[in-house]
Amino acid sequence: MNPLLSAEMLKLVRQPGILFWGFLAVPVAALLVKLVIAGFIYLRMGRQSGDVDVFLSAAKSLSLSGNSLGHLLFALGIATVFFLEYRYSTWRLLVPRHSRVQLFAAKLLVCLAWLAFALLLAAVGDIVLTMLFGVLQGQGLDISASSLIALVAAFGIAFLELAVLASLAALLVVAFRSMIAAVIPGFLLAIGSTLLQLYLGADADRLPLPGYAAQDLRDWLLAGGTPVAAMIGAAVLFGWFCVLTGLGLAVFSRQQLASE
C-alpha cells in the first residue's frame, strides 16, 4: 500500500498546475482576501483597542470548505487524480499488480491528504495574518485552550465536508469515466444547496444534504447552535461519506479495466 501511496503522491506533485488550482488555490485566495481586507481596515482606521482571538479567527476561516467556488476547484483536483488512469489507459498496468480496493483507496487517501493540507494552510495562514495585524493595530492577542479546541473541531468539520466531496467526485469519475461528470455535479450540489436555502428558508435545513449538515455543525461550534442538530449533521456527513465511498468502490471493482 505504501508504494501505491508514494506513486500517487508523486503523480500529483509532478502536475503543479493541477496541484495548485485543484487543492491550494482556495486557501491561498482566502488568505489574499483576508490580507486585502485587513490591510484596508488598518490603513483606514489605524490602531485599535481590544483583544483578538487568534485561534477562533482561524476556526471561522475554515468555513471555506462550504464555498461553492471552492467546491468547484477542489472537485477539479480530485477528479483529475482519478481520471488520470482513464485518460492514459494505464489501469491495465496497475490492476494485475494491486487489488481494486488498494488502487481506489490510494487515490482517495492522496486526495484527502492534500485537502487536509489545504485546510491546514488556511488555518496557519489566518493565524499568521491575525497576529501580524493584531500587533500592527496595537491589539492584544487572545490565545486560549478553548479556542484551540474550537479550531481543532472546525478543522474536523471542514475536513469531513471535503471528504464527502472527494468521495462524490471519485464515484462520478469512476462511474462515467469522465472528469466533467464529476466536477459539475460537485459544484451544482454546493450552489444548489444555497439556492434551496434562499427559496425554502428554514425548511431547507431539514434536507439531509452535506452542506446543511456541515453548517449545523459550524453553527453549534461557533454560533451557539443546538447539539441535537450538530449530532444529526455529523451523522449525515459520515453517512454520505460511507455510502459514496462504498458505491465508488463497488463500481470500480466491477469495471472491465483490462484494456483501459
More confident residue, 239 or 38: 239
For residue 163, the model assigns a pLDDT of: 97
Average pLDDT over residues 29-45: 88
Average pLDDT, the chain: 88
Residue of 104, 86, 76, 107 lying closest to 11 (CA atoms) = 107
Where along the chain do its domains lie?
2-253
Residue 259 has pLDDT above 70, yes or no: no
Residue 149 has pLDDT above 70, yes or no: yes
For residue 202, the model assigns a pLDDT of: 64
Average pLDDT over residues 121-148: 88
CA 192 to chain centre: 17
Residue 260 has pLDDT above 60, yes or no: no
More confident residue, 27 or 226: 27
d(CA 59, CA 156): 10
d(CA 92, CA 58): 44
- Cα first-last separation, the chain: 22
CA 88 to chain centre: 27
For residue 244, the model assigns a pLDDT of: 96
Report the predicted TM-score, pTM, of the whole model to 2 decimal places.
0.92
For residue 141, the cross-strand partners are: 52
Torsion of CA 178, 182, 187, 188, to 10 degrees: 90
Q: Is 67 exposed, middle or buried (0-12, 13-18, 19+ CB in 10 A)?
A: middle
